[in-house]
Chains A and B, each alone.
Chain A
Amino acid sequence: MKRIYVKEEYCIACTLCEIHCLVQHSRSRDIIRAFKRETPRPIPRAIVERDGPNSLSLQCRHCAEPLCVYSCLTGAMHRDEQTGIILVDPERCIGCWTCIMACPYGVIRRGMYKGHPVAVKCDLCPDREIPACVDNCPNGALTFAEEAPHG
């Protein structure tokens, strides 16, 4: 299964991955509308971490042994058996944040759905060939590949 891999040395902490992720997961898919008009404002599922000059863009790893799925109290967090992607069913999520407690990557965010809090996370952009964060990374720091980059 293809996953998103980051090459830290190319990441410039521009946060365009977060911005394009947010737009991709908005209703309008328009950057201005997504930021200014949508309530609640859509949440980026990519996270840029910084430490001095170092930075990286982080997304769900879609773990082979996913602690979020194993810990989920309701079964809302699940693996799509066709694609292997870990997804949240917002109808079944009760916003208990047990997944936030369980995920060792810290890539599950708190969002809203039909007025109640739900977990939101990277879905690898099912409508796109290449996820929005990867596609819009200006410096080639993100790749979408079967294997981790070498070197």
Chain B
Amino acid sequence: MADYVIIGNSAGGIGAAEAIRQVDREGRLTIISDEPYPAYSRPAISEVLARERALDRILYRPKDFYQRLGIQAILGTRAERIDFSAREVYLADGRRVHWDRLLLATGGTPFVPPMEGKDLLGVYTFTRLDDALALDQRLRPGSHVVVIGGGLIGMSVSDALVKRGCRVTIVELMDRILGTMLDPEGSALAEAAARRAGVEVITGHTVQRIHDDGNGNACGVTLDDGREFACRAVVVAIGVRPRIDLVADSPINVGRGILVNARMETNVPGVYACGDVAEAYDIIAGTTRVVPIWPAAYLGGRVAGLNMAGWPAEYPGHFPMNSLKYFGLKIISGGIQVADGDGYEELRHGDDQSYRKVILKDGRIVGATFVGNIDRAGIILGLMREQLDVSSLKEKLVREDFGLIHMPAEWRRQRLYGEYPTLKTPGLVLDRQAAVRSEVA
């Protein structure tokens, strides 16, 4: 009987736990997290800040999840150290947990640059429920909040702050917001939407210093051009880095994140990684890369879990893709947003408020942007996922009515009469009506 240990209680860890339990009801399964909460929807912490939902309404799984799956959940206790030869995890409270198969699903850590005042009270990051709860307590009616970083997290926290009646200033170092997940046209529409909601957007600048009110509280900021703002809170939302402290000075190979193969296994047999901490295959980049998005974390976790439990499964790879719903705008984007270099072809359909764009290279979709009208975007992203040659469909791809009917009959037949090739799991037959049973084909 195997001892499975998962460090991390978010999308990747839960994906692995569910996969393990689909094929092994017996093995001991432990999930360790330094957060004291049952798994919750991390992206939904903005709903908590906006006071639209409380914790019990952003739980990722039903209340009886751990019990029903026979999971020992060690929550609120940090994994401090891993002994890779004795195969033990050392916990902050002195306990040790033995593993035969280990999954590192520790996620990311927000990056806070060295900056005067970054440790003052009233300076937050925004990736955990506790961040949202702490910021919530700090706010007063009409508080001014400076958000450093105009990426996905910056937008999500700003949207919530506006709903709370705060004044918000976004300060983005790049010349446009959402610069890594949108083209300039999409960024301009997103910025216009944020401004319409009352947000002040400053691009091409950054915060140089956070002011101390004399009592250790943040009370304002100075930008790199000398401009000053008074504020009640600062949210640093510049980016997230793989949380790799647990594997520092360990035999685990690390690039930007923990390097894994198609089975999501590290160079140390029996040790796996997934999610924001891992560097797994990126279909569009054609190499391993950190793709810190929720869907990739779950899928990677699922592949890791199946392999941990002895079922061969292959990670098909992923690429960055995001859906944004902030400030009333609907945006879905995936892969390359700006075709930089030779051999790219751009297809676009729409007007100046709403458009669909696809970037092709060698007949394959390498990037897609949907602004305004996002319906059925997944069809295009699916073709991109599979890297099918869509040269013959070029005229139709960005049309609003594009569908399976336009695909070659063979592709359609497999999709409609067979199964979508989400994962390669040779030998594993999943019975839809018995999600926790399996058999050999």
Q: Which residues of A are at the interface with B, using a C-beta cutoff of 8 A?
A: 1, 5-6, 47, 49-51, 54-56, 58, 61-67, 70-71, 73-75, 79, 81-84, 91-92, 94-106, 108-110, 117, 148-149
Contact = CB atoms under 8 A, between A and B. Distances in A.
Contact of A1 (B42, B44, B381, B432): B432
A104 B378 CA distance: 5
B418 interface: yes
Interface in B34-53: 41-44, 47, 53
Contacts of A83: 433
B247 interface: no
A92 B423 CA distance: 26
B295 A71 contact: yes
12 contacts: A49-B405, A54-B405, A56-B412, A58-B403, A74-B43, A81-B435, A82-B433, A98-B294, A100-B374, A101-B377, A105-B415, A106-B379
Interface in B393-441: 401, 403-406, 412, 415-420, 422-423, 425, 430-436
Given A73-B44, A84-B435, A94-B47, 5 more contacts: A55-B405, A65-B419, A71-B299, A81-B433, A84-B432
Given A67-B420, A97-B332, A103 B432 contact: no
A15 B60 CA distance: 37
Nearest to B382: A104
B295 A67 contact: yes
B126 to A, nearest CB: 15
A82 B433 CA distance: 6
Nearest to A150: B417
A105 B412 CA distance: 10
Contacts of B417: 5, 148-149
B196 interface: no
Contacts of B406: 49, 51
A149 B413 CA distance: 11
A96 B323 contact: yes
A100 B432 contact: no
Interface in B50-98: 53, 57-61
B332 A101 contact: yes
A-B complex: 9 closest residue pairs judged by Cβ atoms: A104-B382, A106-B376, A84-B432, A71-B295, A65-B422, A148-B417, A49-B403, A49-B405, A84-B433
Contacts of A58: 403-404, 416
A110 B60 CA distance: 21
A58 B383 CA distance: 17
A117 B322 CA distance: 18
Interface in B305-336: 321-323, 325, 330, 332, 334
B243 interface: no
Contacts, number: 158
B375 A109 contact: yes
B295 A65 contact: no
Contacts of B405: 49-51, 54-56
Given A81-B436, A92-B57, A64 B44 contact: no
Given A71-B298, A101-B381, A63 B58 contact: no
A103 B416 CA distance: 13
Given A63-B419, A101-B321, A110 B375 contact: yes
Nearest to B331: A97
Contacts of A56: 404-405, 412, 416
A64 B430 contact: yes
Contacts of A103: 378, 382
B432 to A, nearest CB: 3
A58 B416 CA distance: 9
A96 to B, nearest CB: 6
Contacts of A5: 416-417
A97 B374 contact: yes
A78 B57 CA distance: 16
B60 A74 contact: yes
Contacts of B44: 73-74, 94
Contacts of B294: 71, 73, 98
A42 B431 CA distance: 32
Contacts of B367: none
Contacts of B415: 61, 104-105
Contacts of A96: 43, 323, 325
